[in-house]
């Protein structure tokens, strides 16, 4: 009997407990969890496009020193690797043969001058005599022709003398430009001639150098397109030369021009810049990078690419309003930059865009927003 009463009491207790739990569950409504997202508050700033292109250094001027007369090199008159002034003597070719030629040419000029004076005086006398009919017209004509021929021979001898003097001057090989001279390629005692294929030395002007970059033809248009953001009279494009580790050189570069044709194999165009090189740190043949910075928009906005959703020909982002609820807005984007993709329409300064967690969002969903740590650090 006692066992039966105990079982009934236990059953009643369990029923009462279950009923209480059910009532509590019925009275407590279910609350959906808030979606956690990371947001970035938009601000305005000057937006730049920065691109690096492979480039190579070339000298502004390069002169291959070659002989203009033949002979034996007697002396080298410069120090290899030194700075050379325009007109400075570099090599001395044996001048003895040219000096002898000049003396012979001087003698020929003297002889031609004496003949000319004789023929000229004869023609003058004949012209006086012909007035008195003392000589025939034929004799006068012959005298005048002889005088003219003597004058031509004098001019020829004078021209030959000038040429011989020029050859004598060429025996001293001089620098046609100022710059740094490289090593000598011929030594003292070598025989040289104007037809040699080997240069005697090479001079390169290095106080300024060219930077020739290979730029894809598609990118060239954006570099030179009209930019409203640039100040009046300026292109808004600047250039800097970087070394192989990405460190900039001290001197700025000035863009000169772009090539007129596209390479058939690579699709690239040559973009040339000029750089002051007072320390001679940039040498011809060096491989560098030409960094082109272009002002896209003043007081513009750029957003991270991961915040953008593209679907059905629409570009949208999620923003969080003052009520902490998510809202999808359609935007228009511009160029890709180092700070992100520019926004041309659809957003304003102060908007809070979602950059992480947007794949779980629904329109009007309440969120728990956390600021981007990189934005806080900046």
Q: Is residue 227 part of a domain?
A: no
Please report, for the domain that includes residue 139, its CATH number.
Answer: 1.10.287.470
Return the half-sphere exposure (C-beta side, CA atoms, 13 A cut-off) of residue 18.
6
Domain membership flag for residue 161: yes
Considering only the C-alpha atoms of the chain, give the largest distance between any 2 of them, rounded to a whole number of Å: 190
What are the CB-based long-range contacts (under 8 Å, 24+) for 218-225?
Answer: 219/51, 219/53, 220/258, 220/269, 220/271, 222/49, 222/294, 222/335, 223/271, 223/292, 223/294, 224/258
Shared domain check, 108 and 43: no
Asked whether residue 314 is domain-assigned, the answer is yes
What does the pLDDT read at residue 1? 44
Shared domain for 371 and 308, answered yes or no, is yes
40 located within any domain: yes
Q: Kindly calculate the radius of gyration of the chain based on its CA atoms and give it in whole angstroms.
A: 45
The encoded tokens of residue 253 equal 């570069």
Structural domain ending residue among the three candidates 139, 170, 201:
170
pLDDT of residue 375: 57
Q: Residue 84 corresponds to which tokens in the numbers above?
A: 């050379």
How many Cα neighbours within 13 Å face the side chain of 305? 7
Phi, psi (rounded to 5 degrees) for 15: -65, -40
Beta strands in 194-236 (DSSP E): 201-216
Residues 6+ apart with CB under 8 A from 278: 207, 251
pLDDT of residue 346: 85
List phi, psi (to 5°) of 225. -70, 155
Residues of the chain with pLDDT under 50: 1, 7, 14, 17, 20, 22-28, 226, 232-233, 376-377
> Cα separation of 200 and 349, whole Å?
67
Query: Would you put residue 364 in left (φ > 0), alpha (ψ -120 to 50) or beta?
Result: left
How many domains would you assign to the chain?
A: 2
The predicted pLDDT at position 10 comes to 55
Q: Would residue 89 count as lying in a domain?
A: no
Mind giving me the DSSP string for 275-341? Answer: EE-TT--S-TT-EEEEEEEEEEEEEE-EE-GGG-EEETTEEEEEEE-TTSBEEEEE-EEEEEETTEE
Which of 152, 170, 188 finishes a domain?
170
pLDDT in the model for residue 232: 42
Confidence at residue 28, expressed as pLDDT on a 0 to 100 scale: 45
Buried b (16+ CB within 10 A) or exposed e, 48-64: bbebebebbbbbbeebe
pLDDT at res. 163: 95
101 and 43 together in one domain: no
For residue 309, what are the β-bridge partners?
316
User: Sheet holding 191-192: strands in order across?
Assistant: 172-174, 89-93, 71-76, 191-192
Domain assignment of residue 289, yes or no: no
- Residue 261 inside a domain? The answer is no
Residue 325 domain flag: yes
Token readout for 273 is: 């810049």
43 and 107 within one domain: no
Of 89, 51, 93, 48, give the one whose Cα is nearest residue 71.
93
Could you list the residue range(s) of the whole structural domain that residue 325 is in? 35-47+300-377
Which pLDDT score is estimated for 122? 87
Domain boundary among 170, 204, 232: 170
Angle between helices 96-131 and 137-170 (to 10 degrees): 160
Beta strands 326-330 and 83-84 are unpaired
Strands 89-93 and 172-174: antiparallel
Q: Residue 363's domain is classified under what CATH number?
A: 2.40.420.20
């Amino acid at each position: 009997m006692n066992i039966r009463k105990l079982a009934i009491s236990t059953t009643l207790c369990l029923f009462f407990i279950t009923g209480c739990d059910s009532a509590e569950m019925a009275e407590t409504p279910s609350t959906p969890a808030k979606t956690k997202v990371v947001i970035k508050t938009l601000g305005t700033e000057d937006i730049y496009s920065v691109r690096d292109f492979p480039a190579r250094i070339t000298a502004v001027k390069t002169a291959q020193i070659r002989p203009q007369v033949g002979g034996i090199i007697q002396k080298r008159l410069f120090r290899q690797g030194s700075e050379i002034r325009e007109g400075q003597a570099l090599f001395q070719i044996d001048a003895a043969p040219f000096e002898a030629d000049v003396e012979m040419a001087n003698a020929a000029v003297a002889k031609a001058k004496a003949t000319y004076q004789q023929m000229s005086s004869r023609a003058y006398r004949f012209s006086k005599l012909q007035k008195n009919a003392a000589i025939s017209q034929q004799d006068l004509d012959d005298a005048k022709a002889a005088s003219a021929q003597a004058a031509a021979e004098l001019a020829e001898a004078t021209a030959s003398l000038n040429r011989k003097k020029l050859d004598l001057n060429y025996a001293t090989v001089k620098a046609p430009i100022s710059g740094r001279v490289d090593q000598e390629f011929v030594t003292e005692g070598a025989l040289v001639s104007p037809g040699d294929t080997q240069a005697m030395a090479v001079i390169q002007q290095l106080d300024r150098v060219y930077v020739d970059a290979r730029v894809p033809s598609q990118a060239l248009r954006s570099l030179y397109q009209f930019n409203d953001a640039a100040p009046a009279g300026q292109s808004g494009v600047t250039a800097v030369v970087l070394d192989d580790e990405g460190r900039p050189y001290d001197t700025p570069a000035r863009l000169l021009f772009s090539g007129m044709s596209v390479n058939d194999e690579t699709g690239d165009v040559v973009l040339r810049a000029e750089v002051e090189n007072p320390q001679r740190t940039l040498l011809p043949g060096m491989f560098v990078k030409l960094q082109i910075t272009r002002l896209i928009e003043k007081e513009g906005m750029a957003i991270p690419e991961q915040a953008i959703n593209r679907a059905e020909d629409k570009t949208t982002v999620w923003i969080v309003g003052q009520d902490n609820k998510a809202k999808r807005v359609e935007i228009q984007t511009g160029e890709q930059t180092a700070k992100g993709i520019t926004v041309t329409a659809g957003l304003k300064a102060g908007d809070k865009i979602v950059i992480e967690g947007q794949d779980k969002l629904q329109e009007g969903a309440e969120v728990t927003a956390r600021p981007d740590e990189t934005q806080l650090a900046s």
